[in-house]
Structure formats: structure tokens, C-alpha cells
Amino acid sequence: MSGKEEKTAGILGGMGPEATVDLMQRIIALTPALDDADHIRCIVDNNPKVPSRIKAIIEGQGEDPGPCMADMGKRLETWGADFLVIACNTAHHYYPAVRDAVGIPVIHLVGLVTDHLIRACPGHKNIGILASPAVAMTGLYTEKFAPKGLVDIWPDEAHQAQMLDVIKSVKKGDTGPKVVAQYQAVCRHLAQKGATLVVVACTELSALDSDLPVEAVDAAQVLAREIVDVAKNKKSISTYDADE
């Protein structure tokens, strides 16, 4: 591939489907385009049949999503993707399975967000995380934050259960006022625990697109910008994976 040619993004999606569509809309909105041909090529496997991450991580039962995601990555590579992204924070628990299955770079969303916080939000050290309880259980953000001197702040058990209810509601298509109010209440709770900034670290919450009472960084928006910049050769590919 010539260095001047645009790169093709491969997206492991379907976790969930609406969140994947939301990511695609963000990519389109961030792409400077005067015509169809100015947009970047994305190959998307919007696969809602990936085994449940919640069942595997929270409930400790069910099929391992890793092999399915690895197969998706291999197919996307075969179909012409130059780099891969996983459109789900929780699913990054299975990032190594995808990374090790392919011969192209796989951008680590949590690593990317951590890098963004260090560069774009240097005044913030105590970061609230709005995410599925499964993300908290995996320690994904703690693993990336700690070496950079950042502290991840999580909701208490009651508010974490409330957060899971919000995520499940969005998956069902419910983004009404009651769901939004629950979401904002969890955000205020994180601020009370000392968070000066929150990361929207679940693509379902990104799809909810609610104004929050605390300064926020949306992981989906950071990922969409990275996809566009890499595909347009505005920056070189970095996986943001310390274990690479």
C-alpha cells in the first residue's frame, strides 16, 4: 500500500448493534467530505451473535466471546481491513484474542482514551467511569490509568446496578426521560466521590447522547476521531497496547 492511499478500517461491531451504528454516524460526521468518495472505507461486522460479555464476565457462565471475536477479526482482515477497532469497551477484555489472531494493528480503545486524557485533559487526575459493571470487574481502565498516574473512580454497588439498568434499557431501545435521569444521577454520584471529569465508557451510553452534569469525554467520539485520522493518514497507527 502506498503511504498516500487511505486505509480501510475494520470494525468489530454488534455489541450492541445500535452502538455500532452510533459509531458509524460519528465517523461520518467527523470526516471532512464534499462528496461520497471523500468518506473513508469501513468494513463492519455488525454481529449481535457474539456471546454475551455480561454473562461471561459478570455471571461467570456462558460461552467465551474471545474465539468469536478472533474469527471476526480474521474475516475483516481477509476482506481488506488495514486496521481493526472493537466497538465496545467491555469486549476489550477479549482484546488479546483478536490481536493475536490477526496480522494487522488492533487499536485498544481503553489505551487510546487514556492517551487522550493525558494529552487533552492534563488538569484531571480523578476520572469517573460510566460503564458496565463488567468493565469495572475486568480492571481495564485501572490497568491503563495507573501507570499514567490517573485514578479511575467507579460508582458504588447500588449506582453500578443502576448503570447496568440504563445500559440494558438502551439495548432495548428505551432512551426516555426516566433512563436519562438514572444516567445523570450516576454521573452526579461520581462527582460526589471526587471525579472532576467522567469518561463515557460504554457505547450504549454514547448512543444515549445525554447532556451530563460533569465535564465528560466520550470514548466513542475519541475512537471515531482516531479512525478518521488513521484512515486519512493524518497520523500513523498506534495500537495503544502496552503489551504489544
Please state, in angstroms and rounded to a whole number, the distance separating the CA atoms of residues 222 and 26: 10
Please state, in angstroms and rounded to a whole number, the distance separating the CA atoms of residues 204 and 21: 10
Q: Which long-range contacts (CB under 8 A, 24 or more apart) does 54-63 make?
A: 54/90, 54/132, 54/134, 54/164, 57/90, 57/93, 57/134, 57/137, 57/138, 58/133, 58/134, 58/137
Backbone angles phi, psi at 195, to 5 degrees: -75, 130
Please state, in angstroms and rounded to a whole number, the distance separating the CA atoms of residues 97 and 67: 7
**Are the beta carbons of 138 and 57 closer than 8 angstroms?**
yes
| Catalytic residue (choose from 42, 121, 187, 202) | 202
The set of residues, in sequence order, having a beta carbon less than 8 Å from that of 4 and lying 6+ positions away, is 233
> From the CA atom positions of the chain, what is the Rg in Å?
17
| Catalytic residue (choose from 68, 88, 121, 187) | 88
Number of H helices, E strands in the chain: 11, 8
Is 88 noted as a catalytic residue in this protein?
A: yes
Catalytic machinery residues: 88, 202
